[in-house]
Amino acid sequence: MMKKTILSLTLGSSLVLTAQVFSQEQDALDYREGYRLILDQRWNEAQAHFIEFQTDWPDSAWNDDAAFWNCYAVEQGGTAEEEHFNCYQAFIENFSSSSYLSDARSKLAVLGSRLADRGNPEYMLRIFENSGFEFGFDADEFSEVIEFAMNQAEVEIEELVASGIVIPPLPDIPNLDDIPNINTEEVRQQLERARDQMRRARDEMTRVRINRRSARNSADDELLTVISALRDNSQAAEILISRLRSSENPNLRSRLVLLLEDFEGQEVTDTLTDLIRNDESEEVRNSAVFALLDKDDEGSRDLLLEIAQDPEYSPRVRGEILDNMEDWDEDTAVDTLARVLGNETDPILVSEAADSLADIGSEAALAVLFDNYEDKTDPIARRLILEQIADVESPGVMSFLSEIALSDADDETAAIAIEGIADREDSVAVAALDHIYFSSSSQQRQLAAIEGIGDTELLQAVEVLERILAANSTPEIQSAAVRALGDTEQESAIAPVLDSYRNNSDERVRRSAVRALRRLDDFPAATEGLLEILEQELNSVETQQ
């Protein structure tokens, strides 16, 4: 495994700083030392550090950051969920204007729901009564909270269903009429919209699966219609098998094989197995593998495992099997995927094996990904594995990506890690990208970090980008930070964008400011800014003439 790199806080010589810039202030350095503990997953040390920080620096602008990361460390440290709940609730009460407020409320909503499900309904009531939620006034923010909670619930339900547990119907929305300061109709509408979004997502997944199957079986639409109607008819399966055995046309036989995937029964499985082992046509053998894979018969998985590791089969066929292994027995799947990933360099096989390991997402699967990333020498294979690592939701992944972003010798690889961090679009991502920017001497990585900060579209992103603008007068950095402000789609980004246009003579920065204002033109202030720029440009033209 990669040795831990000491994260240097020394800024590159190209950075032009003033005495007021946070990165030179002692409280900022102290805060960043605590955040480094978060990246290293040293949860107990991080808690102690941030508690001491708040005592040592009661007036610091970083106080709410420290309080939030203290709660995050408490949550990750494995203590009781009641303690997590109390910490986030105290944060909301003490830092009502913090840019982390939405994240803390999301955490509180999920924790309150879980505790209520476990027989502690008072936690949900505490959310409404004491935590400062103002759903009647900030519908957009509450929508984010509900969407986050519903997404978490959907993931948990899918895991339970996959394990064979029958999920009862969801209860009706509880009666909220007696709880003060809540617009109950708006709450119901937000919940219904969130549920509609979940239903649309499920419908889309179903459509994709149907289209995939149709693409394979697109040889004859009318025949497919007939087969669909006869799916439970054993005689139809016998007709297909008989025609398959009597035909010598490989193309027709391949089509017939794919049609067999819709039929149940041992005879069908045995026929497909025999074709895989003995048929002279590679096309027919491959189609039989696809059909057997789609039938998802556990009794045939030993054969599929054998094929997945057999170099005689094409990477396309083997990759299809690897792609489906995320739903198999975890120990068997991880062991097989580890062998394939360790022995192969073909991009298809590397990508599919890494993708399935990432979808499994267990500690064992993640360890295989980490080890193979370190062991591979081929840069393409390393990047493919890194892209899949970035998809795993784990504190260990954030630490790993941050380390790659700071220490990997290849800027392109570092950019993949930075993009993976940005894709999380949460406070953890913004803080990690902030740390990467100020700890990196590579301008390419700094630019990637700035772009990633903007892509998170969070209020914290605006604050970080403003600090970057104050800390670095390099036109490339200034231009990137201004563009990223536009990408945040936050109204608070308009003022620093306009200031950059007004106070900077560099054309790159000014063009970036115009682009950013166009991205923000849903807000009246951005439109007013563009009108101001238009009038200024017209006056400039008149003066020149």
- Quote the number of domains for the chain: 3
Quick check: is 14 in a domain?
A: no
pLDDT given for residue 233 in this prediction = 59
Domain assignment present for residue 12? The answer is: no
Domain boundary among 329, 357, 392: 392
Residue 233 belongs to a domain: yes
Cβ burial, residue 80 (10 Å; 0-12/13-18/19+):
exposed
Same domain flag for 94 and 232: no
Point out the domain boundary residue: 184, 208, 232: 208
Q: What's the length of the chain?
A: 545
CATH number, domain of 91, equals 1.25.40.10
User: Three-state secondary structure along 22-78?
Assistant: HHHCHHHHHHHHHHHHHHCCCHHHHHHHHHHHHHHCCCCCCHHHHHHHHHHHHHHCC
Write 402-411 long-range contacts (CB < 8 A, 24+): 402/39, 402/432, 402/435, 402/436, 403/2, 403/4, 403/5, 403/39, 405/436, 405/440, 405/445, 405/449, 406/5, 406/7, 406/436, 406/439, 406/440, 406/445, 407/2, 407/5, 410/379, 411/442, 411/444, 411/445
Contact 92, 124 (CB under 8 A): no
* 151 lies in the same domain as 260: no
47 with 151, same domain: the answer is yes
Give, for 21, the enclosing helix (H) or strand (E): none
- pLDDT tens series, the chain, 545 aa: 343 332 332 223 223 333 334 434 788 888 888 888 888 788 999 999 999 999 999 888 889 989 999 999 998 887 788 899 999 999 988 988 887 887 888 888 888 878 877 777 777 767 765 544 444 334 444 444 445 555 555 555 555 555 554 444 444 444 444 444 445 455 455 555 555 555 554 455 445 444 544 444 444 444 444 444 455 556 777 888 888 888 788 887 888 888 787 778 888 888 899 999 998 888 889 988 988 888 877 888 899 999 999 988 889 899 999 998 888 888 999 999 999 999 888 899 999 999 999 999 899 999 999 999 999 888 889 999 999 999 888 878 888 999 999 888 888 899 999 999 999 888 888 988 998 998 888 899 999 999 999 999 988 899 999 999 988 889 999 999 999 999 999 999 999 999 999 998 899 999 999 999 999 988 999 999 888 888 887 776 656 65
Q: Is residue 384 part of a domain?
A: yes
- CA–CA gap between residue 332 and residue 365 (Å, rounded): 11
- Asked if residue 255 and residue 237 are part of one domain, the reply reads yes
In a domain? residue 168: yes
Query: What is the pLDDT at residue 214?
Result: 47
Q: Which of 295, 325, 346 is the last residue of a domain?
A: 295
CATH of the domain at 321: 1.25.10
Clarify whether residues 231 and 353 are in a common domain. Answer: no
Domain of 367 in residue numbering reads as 314-392
**Can you give the pLDDT at residue 468?**
92
Residue 384 and residue 263 share a domain: no
Indicate whether 475 belongs to any domain.
no
What is the reported pLDDT for 197? Answer: 53
220: left (phi over 0), alpha (psi -120 to 50) or beta: beta
Residue 191 pLDDT: 52
Residue 225 included in any domain = yes
Shared domain check, 326 and 286: no
Q: Considering the domain boundaries, does residue 522 fall inside one?
A: no
